[in-house]
Amino acid sequence: MATVDRSQLAHRLDAERSAFAEARPASRAAAADAATHLVGGVPMTWMAKWAGGFPIFLAEARGNRLTDLDGHTYVDFALGDTGAMAGHSPAPTIAAVRRQVEEVGGITAMLPTTDAAWVAAELTRRFGVGRWSFALSATDANRWALRLARLVTGRPLVASFAYGYHGTVDETFVVRAPDGSTVARAGNVAPAVPPAQTTRALEWNDLASVEAALAPGDVAVLITEPALTNIGIVLPEPGFLDGLREVCDRTGTLLLIDETHTLSAGPGGCTQAWGLRPDLVTLGKSFAGGVPIGAYGLSDDVAARLAERVAATDADLVDVGGVGGTLAGNALSLAAARATLGEVLTHAAFEHMIDLATRFTAGVQETLDRHDLPWSVVQLGARAEYRFARPAPRTGTGSAGAGDDDVEEYLHLAMANRGILLTPFHNMALMCPATTAADVDAHTGAFAEVVAAIVAA
């Protein structure tokens, strides 16, 4: 089995860092300028995550190509960490946005447009659940769905998997201590209360942890992705998702499936691809082609129970009760969503994207096999990710322990220097409708070259 030559890695990392900085004077200057008035020197603090000491500054983006201020063009596999899954500025979305803004008029008015019912019907066709409401982000969709789940069940707690990520949702920043108790995830910024007061932490692929957490009958909702995608991709083992549904049914706990990233599995995410039966579904990031949007869907049963609870209590869904937001459901987001779902993120587009992710995965696997490297690559529909462990980790906690900061920084910089962008968070690559086989092969070639340079002889 091959290993990484650490002194060669250190040497190559220095070289890639220097090459990155030298080739990007305009981005470097823009970053220095931005440092004066922006928190962390960037418009949103995560943008400081990019490898290289400063982020490349965006000049323009179209399809799966992105050009920076210094004139470098990249094949973009980051795609806005999924926000641009439909590709950058897809033509049907742009036409709908133009129409709404210029011809129809009205960006946000706190009044419904007919696009909302079309989008909701389309989401029902894809995900099964029958009643939808809109937000401006997946974070808000999750927050509001959790509140409704507590109202519907009359229970106080949430269950969430260790190292799952659902946006900046307080209840979900949990991990499991070695004794199985729930503790805050490292780095959690000033939580209002210790998360164990709101949440029971679960371990992925460990049904016993789920049984134990739900058995007391005080958990309103189990929130999960159908595969973890924010700590590498950790797939469910056979029977695990059926087991979740069964334990939820037995304990009267609602099951919320967050498909924000796993929409990559197909037009109806894993819910459709794997025949799941969620009580609630949440979505965000991509389905309005990059225009801000989020959505939560309720099964008919949950919608009926919600109506009963609203009638029986003073819960205020139409004003300041804690669900909703002024700009949510605005005319522009919904016009963009209608065009994106109807004409861009179609069944045919997913077939193309998934074929390319299969090609991408095979290309990476070839290099891992050639060197017998103890890494793994996992595909989930149109996305794929490599991880520095073999076999691929089976739990969130296991995957959290499989990071390698130096190798990761090296790969990100070496790829960027060769015109390829991966998401700044771990090593995820996403295909969009504009991605081509040649783009995938460019990654395969660059990956083979940069990995060979650090493998011990």
Ligand X SMILES: Cc1ncc(COP(=O)(O)O)c(C=O)c1O
- CB nearer to ligand X: give 230 or 251: 230
Nearer to ligand X, 83 or 363 (CB): 83
Bond prior to 391 in cis (omega within 30° of 0): yes
Q: Which stretch binds ligand X (CB under 6 A): 16-24, 133-141, 176-184, 381-389?
A: 133-141
Least separation in angstroms between CB 163 and ligand X: 12
Interface mask toward ligand X for 229-268; x: CB under 6 A: -x---------------------------x-xx-------
Minimum distance, C-beta of residue 328 to ligand X, in the bound complex (Å)? 12
Q: Are 383 and 364 in contact (CB under 8 A)?
A: no
Sheet architecture: strand order including 280-284: 131-135, 294-298, 280-284, 254-258, 219-224, 157-161, 199-202
4: β partners: 455
CB closer to ligand X out of 225 and 385: 225
User: Of 375 and 425, which CB lies nearer to ligand X in the complex structure?
Assistant: 425
Burial 265-302 (b: 16+ CB within 10 A, else e): bbbbbbbbbbebebbbbbbbbbbbbbbbbbbbbbbeeb
Length of the chain: 457
Provide the pairing of β-strand 420-421 with 73-76.
parallel
Indicate which single residue of 55, 167, 393, 398 sits in contact with ligand X (rule: CB under 6 A): 167
Nearer to ligand X, 150 or 383 (CB): 383
* Residues 12 and 408: beta-carbon distance below 8 Å: no
Question: Smallest distance, Å, CB 282 to ligand X?
Answer: 7
Sign of CA dihedral 337, 338, 344, 348: positive
Among residues 75, 138, 159, 298, which is the contact residue for ligand X, using CB under 6 A?
138
Of 160-168, 183-191, 206-214, 342-350, the window that binds ligand X (rule: CB under 6 A) is: 160-168
Reading the block at residue 298, the tokens are 């309720």
User: Is residue 143 close enough to count as binding ligand X by CB under 6 A?
Assistant: no
Residue-wise burial string across 17-26, b where 16 or more C-beta atoms lie within 10 A, e elsewhere: bebbeebbee
Of 60-68, 135-143, 329-337, 448-456, which part binds ligand X (CB under 6 A)? Answer: 135-143
Our CB check for ligand X shows the closer of 278 and 284 to be 284
Q: Which is nearer to ligand X, 223 or 306 (CB)?
A: 223
Q: Which stretch binds ligand X (CB under 6 A): 26-34, 108-116, 159-167, 237-245?
A: 159-167
Q: Among 293, 287, 267, 339, which residue's Cα sits nearest to residue 96?
A: 339
SS percent in the chain: helix, strand, coil, step 5? 45, 15, 40
CA gap 227, 235 in Å, rounded: 5
Q: How far is the CB of 138 from ligand X (least distance, A)?
A: 3
* Interface residue with ligand X, options 134, 165, 360, 410 (CB under 6 A): 165
Instruction: Report the chain's C-alpha Rg in angstroms.
Output: 22
**179-238 binders of ligand X (CB under 6 A):** 225, 230
Pick 325 or 419: Cβ nearer ligand X:
325
From candidates 93, 137, 182, 399, binder to ligand X by CB under 6 A: 137
Shortest spacing between CB 173 and ligand X, in angstroms: 13
Distance CA 214, CA 381 (A): 31
Backbone dihedral angles phi then psi of residue 194, each to the nearest 5 degrees? -55, 130
Identity of the residue, 323 or 446, whose beta carbon is nearer to ligand X in the bound complex = 323
Q: Does 139 bind ligand X (CB under 6 A)?
A: yes
Measured at CB, which residue is nearest to ligand X?
A: 167
Q: For ligand X, which is the closer residue by CB, 69 or 138?
A: 138
Q: Among residues 287 and 388, whose Cβ is nearest to ligand X? A: 287
* Smallest distance, ligand X to C-beta of residue 58, A: 18
Rule CB under 6 A: choose which of 150, 166, 176, 418 binds ligand X: 166
Interface region with ligand X, contact rule CB under 6 A, candidates 61-69, 132-140, 195-203, 206-214 = 132-140
Q: Cβ(222)–Cβ(253) under 8 Å?
A: yes
In angstroms, what is the minimal distance from the CB of 7 to ligand X? 35
DSSP label at 105?
Answer: -
Residues 258-317 that bind ligand X (CB under 6 A): 258, 260-261, 284-285
CB atoms within 10 A of CB 373: 19
Count of residues in contact with ligand X, rule CB under 6 A: 14
Using a 10 angstrom Cβ sphere, with 0-12 exposed, 13-18 middle and 19 or more buried, the burial of residue 45 is exposed
* Residue 333 touches ligand X, criterion: CB under 6 A: no
Write out the DSSP string of 304-348. Answer: HHHHHHHHHS---TTTTSSS--TTTT-HHHHHHHHHIIIIIS-HH
Sign of CA dihedral 437, 442, 443, 449: positive
Residues near ligand X (CB under 6 A) are 137-139, 142, 165-167, 225, 230, 258, 260-261, 284-285
